[in-house]
Structure 1
Amino acid sequence: MEGETVRIIPGPIIVGSGPSGLAVAACLKVRHIPSLVLERSHCIASLWRLKSYDRLRLHLPKHFCELPLLPFPAHLPAYPSKDQFVAYLDAYAAAFGVRPSFGESVVAAEYDAESGFWRVKTQAEQGRREYASRWLVVATGENAEEVAPEIGGLREFEGKVVHTSRYRSGEEFRGKRVLVVGCGNSGMEVSLDLCNHGASPAIVVRDTVHLLPREMLGLSTFGLSMWMLKWLPIRLVDRFLLLVAGLLLGDTAAFGLRRPKLGPLQLKAIAGKTPVLDVGTLAKIKSGHIKVFPAVKRLTTKGAEFVDGRSQEFDAVILATGYRSNVPTWLKEREFFSTKDGFPKKPFPNGWKGDRGLYAAGFTKRGLLGASMDATRIAQDIEQSWLEVS
């Protein structure tokens, strides 16, 4: 390798110390393969620890969310809280001796064909650094950067505007009229949290959305779906879910929540759009405590105008508009990762492995369960080549 400032890493370089990166490092550790985990923040799981709201709980039962090799403590509830999940991740990192290099933001990574190594450049407080390894694991995930949509009049709006990554509790908005833009799980839960803290929320539902109860027939809706898919085609499972959802929730379209034509599981498989699991928001919508509006036409100095001609004044706007991958901004590779959305081009379950020692963990659009599957496969694959070069 050219230059004396390049640090050669004997094992893989893992970019990101969220659940995906930790899982890969742990699966490698039990195979006696060292790794270097690079993390731009100063803590593990920064999205969970620093950018999530206080009332957040896992949307799926804990046994669907545990990482490889270490189950959740038995005393935790079925749906652990944000703090309980972060504590689990801390314990996970400690159990497997995963110690990331914090405060190092990867600014560029590319394959050096001459040496056969991936060269990774970082920016840290101490200056720029460069590493090289035969293997590179991209574990920055689906939610690396906030998405802030272009909304007409946003700069003219005189109230507070925050992304959900900076929202903690509805207490800050007590007595305020708040417009929540976005109707995914985060938007729905933030609206409920605002309502429970004495705010007057309204939620923008721009498109169709599948709203399902979190549990059906005393079981997790997700778990029930996975079990049924073992025996029935996806279309029949979707019909069952919508039938039960209709009985338990009623006609959601009557309250401005129109369902897509494709069933929830089909839509998830084709477009990666996750159904919303209701934790009490729909009841507040039905009672009128949470208002539903269509797409925003433009914001005004005091509120918003909507595409259906209605307008209303608001004191604050919360952007529950999600996140995106940032891989195209630093990875100099065009075959495996899409430059459009920063996801692997290969569909699940084949999107974990690229060429020349490049891997992706946590880009399955299947949550923590998908990340765990990725981690196990990546570690097994790296072990084979590790034994060949050792």
Structure 2
Amino acid sequence: MENLFRLVDHEDFFSRRCIWVNGPVIVGAGPSGLATAACLREQGVPFMVLEREDCIASLWQKRTYDRLKLHLPKQFCQLPKLPFPEDFPEYPSKKQFINYLESYATKFQINPRFNECVQFARYDETSGLWRVKTKTSGSAEFEYICRWLVVATGENAECVMPEIDGLNEFKGDVIHAADYKSGEKFRGKKVLVVGCGNSGMELSLDLCNYNASPSMVVRSSVHVLPREICGKSTFELAVMLMKWLPLWFVDKLLLILAWLVLGNIAKYGLKRPAEGPLQLKNREGKTPVLDIGALEKIRSGDIKVVPGIKRLNGFSVELVNGEEHDVDAVVLATGYRSNVPCWLQEGELFSKNGFPKSPFPNGWKGNSGLYAVGFTRRGLSGASSDAIRIAQDIGLVWKQETKQKKQRTTACHRRCISQF
């Protein structure tokens, strides 16, 4: 009897490690993965969501600063099938957005398998199926077998750590923006913020609000636009104008309006790129900075703008212009990157940088049942657009096959009755 129990346990052990998924496997439980799952649920297609962390939207929950708010109006950030609550402000806070995502997962019955990190995913030509191997935080290994694979790990899966001469020998604190929560621990300190995107600008502003002295490294050109123009969202204005005008002309109008609202920012060390903000966003995915108060602090001198770093020395930084400044801490607002090439064994849909080879709006579908969501460089609205397309594409095949199965079952049932 004891040997029988051991045999049953042994068989159960192996059955748990190889799991057939009757529908797509979605890798990633961020907004992109949740949106895809919700759209599949509406199509009546079953799915499995795999998430390496212990919660949904881990980037938002664990790797964002406390003062973060959505940079775009809420109507451009809501996911398919569920608008934001009416009482939410135009720019919801981090906490409000996380609450919205948790309500979204509950409404559409999305229950990811947490703490499962995908080691590799590859297409098996022989069986015509995807094999997705994962490892849990407890070192257990699983292999999921499925017909469709949806890559929803997004553009911001891993922190980008820059190579700075002397960084490892620097004696002060060094953190990535992903680990920055607030300026509380930096009160009275001289902080070097490396990066001048939306995160770099906002962290510098936050540091000022906690009486720290930030210096922001601006190594290249950057577009800074007001978040609102005459009480209207700059992004919303751009979307409206693009319905009637060519992109290059909308860029010209935005830059004229930005100059009227913000003045000449070049005199503060912020040089604009030659290419317009929307054209640059389309080509490189480089998002313009939407100013929410940092520029005023730059004008007043509370935020110092400095050129590139030559090297770090102990508690100081040597800049490329020869200046040297005392520094107590370094915050790396140097962005994130995709991690798809680390685990997906495929070379047709995705390029080596972890983004689809085909530009928006054609990068959502590959071959052999492979899909990509959240890689459009167009934020949450781009992810929603992908999610809807993917669910419709899979749903069409699913419904056709389900209909055929029902027809075969009915025909078989009729034959059985006639024989009886």
TM tier, smaller: over 0.9
Aligned residue number for residue 70 of structure 1: 82
1:146-161 equivalent positions in 2, closer than 5 A: 146-161=159-174
Match of 2:187 among 171, 174, 184: 174
Match of 1:380 among 368, 392, 396: 392
Aligned residue number for residue 244 of structure 2: 231
Match of 1:220 among 208, 212, 233: 233
The structure number with the bigger radius of gyration is 2
Cα displacement string for residues 11-57 of structure 1 (whole angstroms, at most 9, x for unaligned residues): 10000000000000000001111100000000000000000000000
Aligned residue number for residue 410 of structure 2: none
SS in 1 for 2:145: strand
| Contact 2:24 2:147 (C-alpha < 8 Å) held by counterparts | yes
Q: Which runs of 4+ in 1 moved over 3 A?
A: 2-5
Amino acid at match of 2:165: G
Match of 1:86 among 86, 98, 101: 98
SS in 2 for 1:241: helix
| Contact 2:39 2:387 (C-alpha < 8 Å) held by counterparts | yes
1:214-363 equivalent positions in 2, closer than 5 A: 214-339=227-352, 341-363=353-375
SS in 1 for 2:132: strand
Question: Offset of 1:3 from its aligned partner?
Answer: 8.8
| Separation in structure 2 between the aligned mates of residue 4 and residue 75 of structure 1, nearest angstrom | 45
Amino acid at match of 2:70: L
Cα displacement string for residues 301-346 of structure 1 (whole angstroms, at most 9, x for unaligned residues): 011111111110110000000000000000000111012x100001
Cα displacement string for residues 222-259 of structure 1 (whole angstroms, at most 9, x for unaligned residues): 01000000000111111110001001101111000000
| Contact 2:17 2:141 (C-alpha < 8 Å) held by counterparts | no
| Separation in structure 2 between the aligned mates of residue 274 and residue 386 of structure 1, nearest angstrom | 37
Match of 1:107 among 91, 110, 119: 119
Question: Offset of 1:126 from its aligned partner?
Answer: 5.3
| Contact 2:216 2:303 (C-alpha < 8 Å) held by counterparts | yes
Question: Offset of 1:156 from its aligned partner?
Answer: 1.2
Match of 1:163 among 176, 181, 184: 176
Match of 1:193 among 206, 215, 220: 206
Aligned residue number for residue 414 of structure 2: none
Cα displacement string for residues 103-152 of structure 1 (whole angstroms, at most 9, x for unaligned residues): 00000000011111100000012510000110000000000000000100
| Separation in structure 2 between the aligned mates of residue 349 and residue 332 of structure 1, nearest angstrom | 23
Q: May I ask how many residue pairs the two structures share in their alignment?
A: 388
| Separation in structure 2 between the aligned mates of residue 330 and residue 310 of structure 1, nearest angstrom | 43
The reply to whether residue 46 of structure 1 matches residue 58 of structure 2 is: yes
| Separation in structure 1 between the aligned mates of residue 215 and residue 379 of structure 2, nearest angstrom | 28
| Separation in structure 2 between the aligned mates of residue 155 and residue 347 of structure 1, nearest angstrom | 38
Question: Offset of 1:5 from its aligned partner?
Answer: 4.2
Aligned residue number for residue 142 of structure 1: 155
Aligned residue number for residue 412 of structure 2: none
The reply to whether residue 21 of structure 1 matches residue 19 of structure 2 is: no
| Separation in structure 2 between the aligned mates of residue 262 and residue 146 of structure 1, nearest angstrom | 27
Cα displacement string for residues 280-308 of structure 1 (whole angstroms, at most 9, x for unaligned residues): 00000000000000111111101111111
Amino acid at match of 2:62: L
| Separation in structure 2 between the aligned mates of residue 215 and residue 181 of structure 1, nearest angstrom | 26
| Separation in structure 2 between the aligned mates of residue 59 and residue 4 of structure 1, nearest angstrom | 43
Question: Offset of 1:388 from its aligned partner?
Answer: 3.3
| Separation in structure 2 between the aligned mates of residue 385 and residue 306 of structure 1, nearest angstrom | 58
| Separation in structure 1 between the aligned mates of residue 16 and residue 76 of structure 2, nearest angstrom | 46
**Tell me, which stretches of 5 or more residues in structure 2 are unaligned?**
1-13, 403-420
Amino acid at match of 1:156: E
Q: CA RMSD for the aligned pairs?
A: 1.1
**Tell me, which stretches of 5 or more residues in structure 1 are unaligned?**
none
**Percent same amino acid among aligned pairs?**
61
Amino acid at match of 2:100: Y
| Separation in structure 1 between the aligned mates of residue 374 and residue 122 of structure 2, nearest angstrom | 20
Match of 1:130 among 118, 140, 143: 143
Amino acid at match of 1:241: L
Question: Offset of 1:217 from its aligned partner?
Answer: 2.2
Amino acid at match of 1:148: M
Q: Which has the higher helix share?
A: 2
